[in-house]
Amino acid sequence: MVSDGTFIVLMGPPGGGKGTQARMLKARLGLSHLSTGEMLREAGRSGTKLGLEAKKLIDDGKLVSDEISIALISERLDEPCVSNGFILDGFPRTVSQAESLENMLADKGVVLNVVIQIQVPDEIIVERIIGRFSCSKCGACYHDKFLTTKVSGVCDVCGSTEFSRRVDDNENTVKARLKIYRDKTTPVLPFYEKKGLLLCVDGTRSIDEIMRKVEKILGV
Ligand code: AMP
């Protein structure tokens, strides 16, 4: 892989809007969206031993081991389409993951363009997470209050009437996830700050305003 694409890391608390912005950037710039959370949920649905173990940790609001999450990302980074660029969503979540990522990218000759931190205070996170749901068929994401479907109960994108909520999107689990974010993930921010890669956006703004700010950062 050669480093001629756009390589972005999106960081921020659970419910901070990383997934939403990553999906919009993917559509806008044709980059690969690499979400370790999504990869792990998929492994859980497939029912493999690893997937079921990961599901238990996710449902309890805990992190999956560095070993597993690094292995998942490493596999995806080897895919040819990723050479056009990627948006990493939910990885790295620990300093050890950030160090491994640095080594993996160096081996491939890839240089990160930017690490964007979406900043959202804890008070707002709980309401955001508890209200979110997605279309069971196409995965389009909605929120009870902030992003409703145009026609009640019908997906705007594919017309399906079936929706689901993540098991880990409940108040107790959110608090555990926020604590882990503070303890394990915020130390990754100075790691990138020292490299001059870290830029912040105000994640309390509307989805479109955040997107415009991200586009400005990327110069697109
Ligand atoms: P997300 O979809 O990014 O909110 O991730 C959902 C859950 O998947 C997290 O709460 C963790 O349990 C697990 N997970 C996702 N990414 C990682 C990672 N990089 N390291 C460890 N666990 C992860």
pLDDT (tens digit per residue) in 81-139 = 898 899 999 999 999 999 999 999 999 999 999 999 999 999 999 999 999 999 999 99
The whole-number average pLDDT for the span 32-52 is 95
Residue 2 has pLDDT above 90, yes or no: no
Q: Where is 146: in which H helix or E strand?
A: none
Say what the pLDDT of residue 204 is: 96
- Pick the residue whose CA is nearest to atom 19 on ligand 1: 91
Q: How confident is the model at residue 203 (pLDDT cuts 50, 70, 90)?
A: very high
**What would the 3-class secondary structure string for 19-77 be?**
HHHHHHHHHHHCCEEEEHHHHHHHHHHHCCHHHHHHHHHHHCCCCCCHHHHHHHHHHHH
Best mutation site among 64, 99, 164 for ligand 1 pocket (most ligand atoms within 8 Å of CB): 64
Say what the pLDDT of residue 83 is: 85
On the 0-12 / 13-18 / 19+ scale of CB atoms within 10 A, 104 is middle
Query: Distance from the CA of 177 to the center of ligand 1, in angstroms?
Result: 9
Query: Distance from the CA of 54 to the center of ligand 1, in angstroms?
Result: 9
- Pick the residue whose CA is nearest to atom 15 on ligand 1: 37
SS3 118: strand
**Whether 163 contacts 72, CB under 8 Å:** no
Query: Which pTM value belongs to this model?
Result: 0.93
166 tagged catalytic:
yes
Pocket of ligand 1, beta carbon within 6 A: 14, 35-37, 40, 57-58, 62-64, 69, 90-91, 93, 97, 168, 177
Strand order in the sheet with 132-135: 141-143, 132-135, 163-164
Say what the pLDDT of residue 175 is: 94
Q: How confident is the model at residue 3 (pLDDT cuts 50, 70, 90)?
A: low
**Whether 43 contacts 149, CB under 8 Å:** no
Best mutation site among 9, 35, 36 for ligand 1 pocket (most ligand atoms within 8 Å of CB): 36
SS3 142: strand
Residue 180 has pLDDT above 90, yes or no: yes
**Whether 200 contacts 192, CB under 8 Å:** no
Beta partners for residue 202, in sequence order: 119
Alpha helices in the chain (DSSP H): 18-29, 36-46, 49-59, 66-77, 95-108, 122-130, 171-180, 188-193, 207-218
Say what the pLDDT of residue 5 is: 86
